[in-house]
Amino acid sequence: MDDLMRPPPDVSTSRDGRGEGEELWETTAYTACCHKPVAVEFLSDQSVNFQHLNNPVVNYEDPNLNISIPIFSINGNHDDCSGEAGAAVAERFSLLVSHLGKLGSIPGRVTRFLHVGIVPDDATVFVYAVAVGVSAMDVIGTTGLLNYFAKWNDFKKVDISPLLMQKGASRLAIYGLSYMNDERLSRLFRDGKVQMLQPSVHAKEWFNLMVLHQNRVDHGKYTFIPEEALADFLDLVMWGHEHECRIVPEKNPLKKFHVTQPGSSVATSLSAGESVEKYVGILKVYKKDFKLEPVKLETVRPFVMDTITLSKCNIEHTVENPSKKTGHGAADLNNSVLDHDNLTCEQPYHPEPSPCYGVQKSLPH
């Protein structure tokens, strides 16, 4: 089984413009749609795996679609579908209706849309609140272009039912854990409220792959998910959300499974973790063995991180315009890194992107 391994795109109806959404649809349709048959048998209960969809069917088995490369994706924090924002909208509208003293109601179970009817004396006004618990992942998943799974609506207990697939002699179980507030999820793990269901048939023959989108780096007590909280029977964990690329699988000494962290495909902040080379990977699985082939991204905008210690710079602190002098020092540093190996684009037919510099200033004491 071959799987193009890359972090799911960060898409959000509230943060990204229409152009990004259109590009996502176009790319997904171009990549996934074709008449070539899929040689992977889907074995698990689709009504459980895709229970949040009106048509809970894996897309390549849908007779109305032509899918040759099925894409399976969880959601991250930029396309959070928890519905918490929708509940807040419902509360605001309820208070508004109550305050105006008009007729209106809000359904007890908030679903995809809120509909509040306000009836003034001289006219009828209807107010619609859009997308309660709905993100771009919901929309593109509804179209069938990708298989969106592991959407959570219950935050008191999480039961992870795997996607079960078979190709030849290989059996693959994919456990998805979409983004959830780290403190909430940490509490669920501590309380034993996170359960990972295992197949009862051929239990020892499944290659168990987990994909999740949470903090891996320790940001403080209960603000990250430690690897040791995950199940012992896992073979490989694909860790999203973290931006630093650590594509080579790292073995956890206590749990024995491996962890791969693809990282972000572009530099999104001026931090040291973003300055490392960017990779995606091709994962090959045969029975209980796997091999991950890193593939370097060749058109990423170059990013160099360095530090300027002002106390070591030849700057007179009594000059009238010290900022100008410091600026000259930074300019000299920029000129010195122009020949850095990371600034070379390996494919000459692509226009070489302009470099991006991250400079940290250390002030003298």
Domain encompassing residue 63: 2-81+134-296
Q: Residue 27: what pLDDT?
A: 80
259/280 same-domain check: yes
60/178 same-domain check: yes
Domain boundary among 279, 296, 313: 296
213 catalytic residue (yes or no): no
- Tell me the Ramachandran region of residue 204: left when phi exceeds 0, alpha when psi lies from -120 to 50, beta otherwise: alpha
pTM above 0.85, yes or no: no
175/249 same-domain check: yes
141/116 same-domain check: no
Helix axes 136-143, 18-32, angle to 10 degrees: 30
Q: How many residues does the chain have?
A: 365
Task: Give the chain's mean pLDDT.
Answer: 75
Cα angle 27, 32, 33; round to 5: 105
272/195 same-domain check: yes
Measured CA distances, 224 to 139, 166, 238 (Å): 29, 33, 16
Per the DSSP assignment, residues forming a β-bridge with 219 are none
178/89 same-domain check: no
Percentage with pLDDT > 90 across the chain: 41
CA distance 78 to 54: 23
How, if at all, do strands 41-42 and 163-167 pair? antiparallel
198/311 same-domain check: no
Name residues whose C-beta falls within 8 Å of residue 63's C-beta, 6 or more positions apart in sequence: none
Q: Residue 332: what pLDDT?
A: 55
158/215 same-domain check: yes
| Look-up of token digits 């849908």 | 62
199/145 same-domain check: yes
96/181 same-domain check: no
Q: Residue 93: what pLDDT?
A: 43
Which stretches of 37-94 are assigned E, i.e. beta strand? 41-42, 72-73
Q: Residue 324: what pLDDT?
A: 56
Query: Is the confidence at residue 55, as pLDDT, over 50?
Result: yes
Residue (of 209, 279, 212, 211) closest to 244 by Cα position = 279
Q: Which of 35, 52, 78, 202 is catalytic?
A: 78
CATH number at residue 51: 3.60.21.10
**Structural domains counted in the chain:** 3
- Residue ranges in 145-234 assigned as alpha helix (H): 182-190
Identify which has the larger pLDDT, 231 or 135: 231
Name residues whose C-beta falls within 8 Å of residue 113's C-beta, 6 or more positions apart in sequence: 128, 129, 130, 131, 132
CA distance 219 to 196: 25
Half-sphere exposure of 249 (CA within 13 A, CB side): 22
99/164 same-domain check: no
195/76 same-domain check: yes
Domain boundary among 240, 274, 296: 296
Report the pLDDT averaged over residues 159-185.
Answer: 95
Query: Is the confidence at residue 299, as pLDDT, over 70?
Result: yes
Q: What is the pLDDT of residues 249-287, one digit of tens each?
A: 999 999 989 999 999 888 888 888 888 889 999 999 999
